[in-house]
Amino acid sequence: MIGLGTIVNVGTVLIGTTIGILLKNGLPKRFEKTVMQGLGLSTCFIGIGGTLSEVLTIQDGEIGTQHTMLLILCLALGAVIGEALNIEQRLEDFGAFCQSHFAAKGDSRFVEGFVTASLLFCVGAMSIVGALNDGLNGDPTMLIAKAILDGVASILFAASLGKGVYLSIVPIFFYQGGITLMARFIRPWLTDVLIGQMSCVGSVLIFAISLNLIFNSKLRVGNLLPAIFLPVLFFFLAQFFPTLGTL
């Protein structure tokens, strides 16, 4: 069944968030900071590992790099597009709208929980590649594996940030489900290299999310989201300007 992976993913996040909310009610306030830092550290290494797996090459016993200029260009142009669209502010506005209608008074971290969880659950390599595998081959295995990881992460997020994590199922459903549905239409143009480049950019954004979690900083990761899809643009332009294929 095509789309099963996304449905399972939504289900595990709902279950994990519910468990996290129950834990939150029984945990002292002082636990929140350490839990978030621990989650940030694990997220950091996921991002670093995913990036290095695509950027580093080993040939004749020597370590080299690939696609570094493409990565820089995608992040720079993605930032321009994201800022023009003001994606993160729109996410926050949506979260604030839902907070005003559904959240209990005093739930000050509702929007933060929604935005942070949504970005982490949607920008990773497993989200992109898993959704493509589900759409192209009807194989939800990778998304189901991701669903388990997201379920565990949602427990920790909800235990620290509260009920806003529930709302992350909306972008999961439309983002992963959208990629799954589109996969059959874009199949003729997909290559392993292109998918790897998109995954690499996504891993860098995961690393950026980890910095926000660990240091309570405010990198506008939402406004960098267009960068994930810019390798597709460069892939098509390379058909006319072969030099771009060497980035």
Tokens read off for 83:
């800022």
Distance CA 165, CA 152 (A): 12
**More confident call, 116 vs 100:** 116
Asked if 11 and 18 count as a contact pair (C-beta separation under 8 A), the reply is no
Residues 176 and 193: their CA atoms lie apart, in Å, by: 20
Per-residue model confidence as pLDDT tens digits over 133-147: 888 888 888 899 899
The whole-number pLDDT of residue 106 equals 60
- Residue pair 166/27 in contact (Cβ under 8 Å)? The answer is no
* pLDDT for position 78: 95
pLDDT digits 0-9 by tens, 17-66? 999 998 877 667 777 778 778 888 888 988 898 899 888 888 877 888 88
Structure tokens at 49: 């590992």
* Model confidence band, residue 105 (pLDDT cutoffs 50, 70, 90): low
- pLDDT at position 56: 87
Given a cut of 70, whether residue 168 has pLDDT beyond it is yes
Report how far residue 97's alpha carbon sits from residue 133's, in angstroms, rounded to the nearest whole number. 34
Rounded Cα–Cα distance for residues 173 and 102 (Å):
20
pLDDT (0 to 100) of residue 240: 83
Q: How far apart are CA 159 and CA 176, in angstroms?
A: 25
Band (pLDDT 50/70/90 cuts) for residue 15 is: very high
What pTM was computed for the model? 0.83
